[in-house]
Amino acid sequence: MTSAGTLKKQIDELCKSDHRLKLVLHQVGYPDPRTRPPGYATLLQIMVSQQLSTKAAAAIWSKLEVLQSGDVTAQKIHDTPSELLRSCGFSGRKIEYAKSLADGVEKGGLDLFFSEQETTNEIIESLCEIRGVGRWTAEIYAMFALDRGDIYPAKDLALQVAIQRYQELAYRPSEQEVSEIAMKWSPYQSAAALLMWKYYGAATLD
């Protein structure tokens, strides 16, 4: 999914056997790829966006980038007083997570790049061992920073609501139901997720 052309081909392939998804595509058009460089800054940005609206998360990150002169690094976050992070909008818990992650990268040799030989499940399990990283955060990082193409983050509220609309359900489906529905889009679940985010109107890490 590193290029718009590849993403378009994957969505076209999915639409061949999914009439409803084809209708979604006609309604909203093709989504843009959302790739980010792997490493501390990207994972921290995803952690910042946990349980926040896209607008609120973007505002916090924008303030942090100004504070860090446009370059957010583990060393800089490690050296930044907690009061300054709080002034950007960080909660006390997220300050702890940001500092802990910075220590892991700077002092503990935490590797956030992973190898192509590691499976997506192995990567997600490894990321979930990091303090402050849950499954949603791990899946988003694997999708956007590691270019893993078969992930549908079923815990994501926007993606749940998008599935509800897509299926014309009277209720918002559970995480398990969403996972089961999304499995039919394998091995291009990530492409389907990007289309569904656009269908919902959300822009994750825009």
Q: pLDDT tens across 2-58, in order?
A: 699 999 999 999 999 999 999 999 999 999 999 999 999 999 999 999 989 889 999
Q: What is the DSSP letter of 187?
A: T
Residue written as token pair 């349980």: 51
Tokens of 94: 């997220």
End-to-end CA distance of the chain: 16
Model pLDDT for residues 126-177, shown as the tens digit of each residue: 999 999 999 999 999 999 999 999 999 999 999 999 999 999 999 999 999 9
144 in helix, strand or coil?
helix
For tokens 């299926």, what's the residue?
167
The domains of the chain, with CATH numbers, are 4-34+149-200 (1.10.1670.40), 40-144 (1.10.340.30)
User: Using an 8 Å Cβ cutoff, are 147 and 10 in contact?
Assistant: no
**Distance from C-alpha of 76 to C-alpha of 61, rounded to nearest angstrom:** 14
The two tokens of residue 184 are: 């039919």
